[in-house]
Amino acid sequence: MTKIIHFWDQAGVSCVLAKHQRRLGHKVEVFKRAGFDPFGIIDFYGETTIKTLLGRGFLKFAIKKAKDFDVIHIHDLIKLVPQMRSQFNDKTIILHYHGNFTKDIIPENRKDAELCADTVLVSTPDLLKYVDATYLENPVDIDHFSSREINQNNQAVSLMTKAETKEAVENQLTSHGYSLNLNAIPRNLKPVPYSNMPEFLEKFEYLVDIKFYQGKVIQAFSLLGLQALSLGLKVINYEYKITQGLPKEHYPENVVKKLMKIYHQ
């Protein structure tokens, strides 16, 4: 049995990893500060939210908590990594990058954290252009996003981030020959709870998984796109092609098997 602690969670990745690491018999805990979970993911999985600590207090709490674990898996909290290494030379420390956060930080500001980590991971392959790291596929909770009957209604949905507009998404679709009834929803303004996401998505035939960074299309599936594939939707991906079916490398048991090998290499 390996004792694993995850600090922070991005889009449920820590929670899904922990769920399947526990199924293998490992002791696992996930911790995140309160106020950073608009979709209710931590509560859905029954993980721990720290409600009373501010940033510096959370860092002190994390160091105290980590002493009882073999693997310290840190998600995006780059300031925490050197502090953990200064306290624990005998533990495996993983730094796991997610999304555009990685692109926005200049390499010099990431350097200490990356040097102090035993392994640096990225959650999407486009991030390999920015970081010398190992790509670990995002896991999809196929229990929650289980395959189901999907409406064949020519309805498409785009859950937009701040980087997208309805006009930009519509223009991209039209220029590539698509004629769909697009429902463009600002995800930050109208958050769909994680618990309800499968029921929300199954109303649509298509999910438009075209995401932008600095005006350019991100060359990777979003986690939402992968979740839609797991449900059975047709996903219009970053290459403007229709994809169906979740690739097996994103099945959580396969991701965790790969991750456990990384921990012990």
- pLDDT at residue 59, as a whole number: 82
The pLDDT of residue 156 is above 80: yes
Mean pLDDT throughout 126-154? 95
Query: Which of the four pLDDT bands, split at 50, 70 and 90, describes residue 52?
Result: low
Domains of the chain: 3-139+250-263 (3.40.50.2000), 155-245 (no CATH)
Query: Which of the four pLDDT bands, split at 50, 70 and 90, describes residue 58?
Result: confident
- pLDDT at residue 55, as a whole number: 67
- pLDDT at residue 51, as a whole number: 80
The dihedral of CA 251, 256, 259, 265: what is its sign? negative
The alpha carbons of the chain give a radius of gyration, in whole angstroms, of: 19
The pLDDT of residue 221 is above 80: yes
How far apart CA 11 and CA 141 sit, in angstroms, is: 11
Q: Is 32 left (phi over 0), alpha (psi -120 to 50) or beta?
A: beta
- Strand 206-208, strand 234-236: pairing: parallel
Mean pLDDT throughout 163-172? 85
Query: Which of the four pLDDT bands, split at 50, 70 and 90, describes residue 101?
Result: confident
**Core vs surface per residue 116-153: b (16+ CB within 10 A) or e:** bbebbbbbbebbeebbebbebbbbbbbebbeeeebeee
Closest C-alpha among 145, 124, 200 to residue 19 = 145
The pLDDT of residue 7 is above 70: yes
Packing angle of the helix pair 55-66, 80-87 (nearest 10 deg)? 40
Mean pLDDT throughout 200-223? 93
- pLDDT at residue 115, as a whole number: 97
- pLDDT at residue 163, as a whole number: 78
Type of residue numbered 202: E
The pLDDT of residue 116 is above 90: yes
Contacts of 208 (CB under 8 A, 6+ apart): 156, 157, 158, 169, 173, 180, 182, 236
Type of residue numbered 213: Y
How far apart CA 158 and CA 9 sit, in angstroms, is: 23
pTM of the model: 0.94
Mean pLDDT throughout 186-204? 92
- pLDDT at residue 172, as a whole number: 86
Rounded to whole angstroms, what are the CA distances from 189 to 33, 126, 194?
21, 27, 15
How far apart CA 8 and CA 128 sit, in angstroms, is: 21
Mean pLDDT throughout 216-243? 96
Type of residue numbered 45: Y
The pLDDT of residue 57 is above 90: no
Rounded (to 5) percent helix, strand, coil in the chain: 35, 20, 40
What mean pLDDT value characterizes the chain? 93
Could you say which DSSP state residue 136 is in? -
How far apart CA 166 and CA 62 sit, in angstroms, is: 41
